[in-house]
Structure 1
């Protein structure tokens, strides 16, 4: 695996590099640390890269380093095209507009990169328990397969989560709320993907629980994530093009926006991506 880590000197960036180091060590990955010099008058790239190297040295990782000059998001997007398997970002950087917890720079980068993106906000010192969010779209298998790859590398404990729409109040007395067992017996795209993923995890000797929740998907995912002491959320990042706020995907956007837990966003390979210039022009 080849991982691109982005360093801007902020505490959040260092948190991302630290957590990325946990994952890189498990994969014995090739790591490249990139710093983009936005203003040549304030070039502290040597110090920033030195700090990043110090963090990764604790994991016995010896990364390559690169510096670029220009707009951070554009340079990062261009670098991410060079045969990387994963990009690691802080949830916002020094130059971002901190209107949301999920910063403007990271948001625009995730719109364009064609590889999975690991978004980190707070420092985490372990990577053992993963929450994999399963939808029913045609892209969900790619998300689950990448999640299995991660889980196998770190020998993780995994929970597969699917959120069902709320049952209307008038019907609740009839016992319509499904149990996991009942749900898996029904032949739906969601149940098939859950069963296939559970079997794949079992084949790789990885323990997995299946959880069903009822409600608004982003809220239920966040409740499960915070209450279950998870170390990472894996979720599909595909979404609805044409509505700016939801380019990332309505569910993924809200989860990453509010989650204090690192989120791994997986984009399907056969998906339409924005150009670097188009992403740069996106504004909230």
Structure 2
């Protein structure tokens, strides 16, 4: 249950699409929003100045919240986003919205993209908004076959129902070099996977049934090839307004030692808003 929507900004203009999206989402879900300004270069002499980078974003944000009819609050915290966001979100039942932080290319090269670090250390759902694609009409839900998408799909369903958006459930069959019966059946029948008795085929049928039972207009899409490249191609071809993807349980998950973090790679392409939530293993 989400009690509040948190929107994070460091004052960079690249973060404002998240503000716009948060205002719309707060009104849509009838949930209060809180804009958290990150003062990454704290100085008592600057914070109250009109030239402080947070001032312009806060002023525009208030207008956006009022125009959308969203209940809102404003707050400023000190610290670098990579550390301040995980610390602020910890223990809260919330949805965290953020956009690109506008880091210099050299810093991204040396330290990596901020979103990847934040995603690995935030347990709450995250909505990454490089651009505000509104109104919401078409949503791509990426099914990985391991259940990591369940939490993101649940929240995404709530948003899709409220916005009356259509869902496409996508699974990508990567090149298979393992020689065992299930793998061969998947590789040879990927175009008709929905009709097979494979684990992936069963998961597709169940996912479609769950989506339709929830009241969504949903369809299945199956692609074959590199997972990241096929998701990227589908997003561009399908002109989707929102992506829903899962992520491993934590940055220490064993699976991350030998497979790429597909969610982070797709997010960093800045294709569309991306909703992700960490996989929570049933107790």
- TM-score category, normalised to shorter length: 0.7 to 0.9
Secondary structure of the equivalent of 2:211? Answer: helix
| Contact 1:131-1:230 at 8 Å conserved across structures | yes
| Matches of 1:247 and 1:79, distance apart in 2 | 30
| Matches of 2:14 and 2:258, distance apart in 1 | 24
Task: Spell out the pairing of 1:230-245 with structure 2 (5 A cutoff).
Answer: 230-238=240-248, 241=252
| Contact 2:150-2:279 at 8 Å conserved across structures | no
Which residue does 1:171 correspond to in 2? Answer: none
List alignment gaps of at least 5 residues for structure 1.
169-174, 272-284
List alignment gaps of at least 5 residues for structure 2.
178-186
Which of 175, 186, 190 is the matching residue for 1:178? 190
| Matches of 1:188 and 1:162, distance apart in 2 | 13
Which residue does 2:77 correspond to in 1? Answer: 68
1:21 aligns with 2:23: yes
Which of 73, 81, 99 is the matching residue for 2:108? 99
Q: CA deviation at 1:103?
A: 6.8
Q: CA deviation at 1:130?
A: 0.3
Which residue does 1:267 correspond to in 2? Answer: 278
| Matches of 2:42 and 2:56, distance apart in 1 | 14
- TM-score normalised by structure 2 residue count: 0.81
Q: CA deviation at 1:46?
A: 3.9
Pick closer, same or farther for the CA change 1:64–1:94 going to 2, 3 Å: farther
Residues 31-86 of structure 1 deviation map (CA, whole Å, 9 limit, x = unaligned): 11101212233422444322222222221113111111222322221211242321
Which of 116, 128, 131 is the matching residue for 1:119? 128
Pick closer, same or farther for the CA change 1:167–1:267 going to 2, 3 Å: closer
Residues 120-174 of structure 1 deviation map (CA, whole Å, 9 limit, x = unaligned): 1124232121000001114343343333233222221110000012479xxxxxx
Secondary structure of the equivalent of 1:40? Answer: coil
Pick closer, same or farther for the CA change 1:166–1:89 going to 2, 3 Å: same
| Contact 1:237-1:248 at 8 Å conserved across structures | no
1:218 aligns with 2:220: no
Which residue does 2:6 correspond to in 1? Answer: 4
| Contact 1:10-1:94 at 8 Å conserved across structures | no
| Matches of 2:122 and 2:98, distance apart in 1 | 12
| Contact 1:234-1:265 at 8 Å conserved across structures | yes
Pick closer, same or farther for the CA change 1:49–1:80 going to 2, 3 Å: same
Which residue does 1:58 correspond to in 2? Answer: 67
Please report the RMSD computed on the Cα atoms of aligned residues, expressed in angstroms: 3.0
Pick closer, same or farther for the CA change 1:109–1:128 going to 2, 3 Å: same
- TM-score normalised by structure 1 residue count: 0.81
